[in-house]
Amino acid sequence: MLHIEPYHDADRLQTAALIYAAFCDKFQRARRLSPRLQWRLFYRLWRWKQGGSRERSFVVKQDEQVVAAFALNATAGENNAGRRPHALPIWRLCRRYGWLNVWRMYLQMAVLRHTPAADELYLSYLAVAENQRGKGVGKRLLQWMNDYAAGQGSGRRLSLHVSQRKVDALRLYRRCGFQVRCEEHYASLGWLFGQADWVLMERRCGEATCAK
């Protein structure tokens, strides 16, 4: 049985490891760093970012293990206040991991942001553990988000960005009623992620569930 619940600090390590593994093609691009050091750098930066996040973060658990995680972002007035993050020891990190690696990963976490409109709920990320893929978990979570957004008020839209390279993800979102709002090309994201072409998709909340 899967349980969806708000993210808590006690879930931090499991959640960070899940996100790092799910988006390894984006984050594991450091130069001259061992896999262990790449993970440590990611965890330091992700923990700092999460400490002051205004997103509504959720985890999905099975037998007390985090098997999926996602975050939703609304307009500034609707998000939780968030805590003020601790100062990031940027120069110490640069000395340990290399300035290029630190700044690349810092920008990777900062650049994929979207400012939602008043009627919009934006899916910042959705990560599912590898052993849970192909079991309908993604569809179930998207339906939960649809119901959650609809409960926030009528006329809500749920939106997200997805790389054009993620063919399976695009197929899933289309089956769940998402339509392409626009296609976007960012040379900077090509340098940061190796993926320059992205799609902004959206669906009206409260509409039909995901197709089989």
**Res 151: pLDDT:** 80
- Per-residue pLDDT, averaged over 49-77, amounts to 86
Is 169 part of any domain?
A: yes
**pLDDT band for position 192 (cuts 50, 70, 90):** confident
Centroid of chain to Cα 210: 20
Domain that holds residue 45: 3-204
pLDDT digits (tens, 9 = 90+) for 1-21: 899 999 999 999 999 999 999
**Res 208: pLDDT:** 58
Cα–Cα dist 188/49, whole Å: 21
CA distances from 104 to 99, 155, 167, 185 (A): 8, 38, 25, 19
Q: How many domains does the chain have?
A: 1
Cα–Cα dist 104/106, whole Å: 5
The one-letter amino acid code at 106 reads Y
Cα–Cα dist 113/96, whole Å: 27
- pTM for the whole structure: 0.86
Is 211 part of any domain?
A: no
Is 212 part of any domain?
A: no
**pLDDT band for position 155 (cuts 50, 70, 90):** low
| The pLDDT of residue 152 is above 60 | yes
pLDDT digits (tens, 9 = 90+) for 120-146: 899 999 999 999 988 999 999 999 998
Cα–Cα dist 4/69, whole Å: 9
Is 210 part of any domain?
A: no
Tell me the two tokens of residue 73.
């972002």
More confident residue, 71 or 74: 71
Helix H or strand E segment including 90:
helix 90-97
- Coil vs helix vs strand at 180: strand
**Res 188: pLDDT:** 79
Is 141 part of any domain?
A: yes
The domain that holds 12 is classified in CATH as: 3.40.630.30
Is 21 part of any domain?
A: yes
| The pLDDT of residue 25 is above 80 | no
Is 93 part of any domain?
A: yes
**pLDDT band for position 190 (cuts 50, 70, 90):** confident
Cα–Cα dist 31/98, whole Å: 9
The one-letter amino acid code at 133 reads R
> What is the per-residue DSSP string for 43-80?
HHHHHHHHHT--SEEEEEEETTEEEEEEEEE--TTTS-
More confident residue, 106 or 141: 141
**Res 139: pLDDT:** 92
**Res 82: pLDDT:** 52
| The pLDDT of residue 50 is above 90 | no
Is 187 part of any domain?
A: yes
Cα–Cα dist 16/126, whole Å: 12
| The pLDDT of residue 81 is above 70 | no
* Cβ atoms 59, 13 nearer than 8 A: no
CB-CB neighbours of 211 under 10 Å: 9
